[in-house]
């Protein structure tokens, strides 16, 4: 058995992007570790969603631990940087945010966790952070260098299958109906060429269809961000399965020439 470390930018990223892979690894007997760079302080939240005196960061930290319990993660670590907000936000200039973090210091902290855990596998985002989010890009940069320093050879870039998403938008009725419920900014992200990765460039496809119910529960554990009335919360079972039955990864190195690999440990 081995140890998988999953490095994410904000609370709920882990549930959306890699929770099925994490559940599968844990169920197979591997140790699963979640590292989160920030507490997601820039997330949107309804004015009455927090308790008196409670900060959004505190709430999202608690939600992450709730989701980790559903996932089966064995350890959760927050690096303590502040959320940088979306690209171009004023929050990008906050000296305490992850985007402005001292690179060497951040690398040392992540490399220390990898070494402490004797990590066999590390997942980070692709080099453009999936959709250009500064904190996601920083996770890639920091994580790749931390893995190099800690000697972790199996590094995977979690991504989205751009080809599949565009195909679903055009062909799959249930997915098209879900897209109609999204706001214009979300739709624009899906349609951009800097969103996710072309299918031909993806190397690993992890089938997580057996974990969809738990995956949705892990996402909904982030109640300040993903409510029952939200885009993810209102997806039918069919729509959710269309969107989330497979989690996609890119292994750096030679391009894929045959079928997708399906196991991050082999």
* Per-residue tens of pLDDT for the chain, all 266 residues: 999 999 999 999 999 999 999 999 999 999 999 999 999 999 988 777 899 999 999 999 999 999 999 999 999 999 999 999 999 999 999 999 999 999 999 999 999 999 999 999 999 999 999 899 999 999 999 999 999 999 999 999 999 999 988 877 666 555 555 555 555 555 555 555 678 999 999 999 999 999 999 999 999 999 999 988 888 888 899 989 989 999 999 999 998 999 999 999 99
**Number of domains within the chain:** 1
**Per-residue pLDDT, 166:** 81
Specify if 265 maps to a domain.
Answer: no
Distances from the Cα of 181 to the Cαs of 81, 130, 174, 230, 235, in angstroms?
Answer: 33, 21, 11, 9, 9
pLDDT at position 135 is 97
Tell me what pLDDT residue 229 has. 86
In a domain, 261, yes or no: no
Whether residue 163 lies inside any domain: the answer is: yes
Q: Whole-model pTM? A: 0.91
For residue 162, being part of any structural domain is answered with yes
Q: Which domain holds residue 130?
A: 3-250
- 146 located within any domain: yes
Report yes or no on 262 lying in a domain.
no
Determine, yes or no, domain membership for 228. Answer: yes
Look at residue 259 and tell me if it is in a domain. Answer: no
From CA 137, how far away is CA 123, in angstroms rounded? 13
What's the CATH number where 168 sits? 3.40.50.10320
């Amino acid at each position: 058995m081995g140890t998988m470390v999953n490095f994410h930018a904000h609370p709920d990223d882990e549930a959306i992007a890699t929770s099925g892979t994490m559940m599968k690894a844990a169920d197979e007997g591997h140790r699963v570790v979640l590292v989160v760079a920030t507490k997601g302080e820039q997330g949107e939240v309804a004015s009455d969603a927090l308790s008196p005196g409670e900060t959004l960061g505190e709430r999202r930290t608690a939600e992450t631990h709730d989701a980790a319990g559903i996932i089966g993660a064995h350890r959760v670590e927050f690096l303590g940087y502040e959320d940088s907000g979306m690209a171009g936000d004023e929050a990008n200039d906050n000296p305490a945010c992850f985007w402005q973090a001292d690179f060497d210091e951040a690398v040392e902290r992540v490399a220390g966790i990898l070494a402490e855990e004797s990590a066999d596998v590390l997942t980070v985002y692709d080099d453009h952070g999936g959709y250009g989010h500064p904190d996601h890009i920083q996770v890639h940069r920091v994580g790749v260098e931390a893995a190099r320093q800690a000697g972790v050879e199996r590094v995977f870039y979690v991504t989205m299958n751009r080809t599949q998403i565009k195909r679903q938008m055009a062909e799959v009725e249930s997915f098209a109906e879900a897209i109609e419920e999204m706001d214009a900014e979300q739709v624009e992200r899906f349609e951009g060429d800097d969103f996710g990765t072309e299918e031909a460039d993806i190397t690993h496809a992890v089938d997580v269809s057996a974990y969809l119910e738990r995956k949705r529960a892990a996402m909904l554990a982030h109640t300040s961000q993903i409510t029952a009335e939200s885009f993810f919360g209102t997806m039918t079972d069919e729509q959710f399965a269309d969107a989330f039955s497979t989690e996609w990864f890119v292994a750096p190195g030679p391009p894929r020439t045959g079928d997708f690999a399906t196991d991050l440990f082999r």
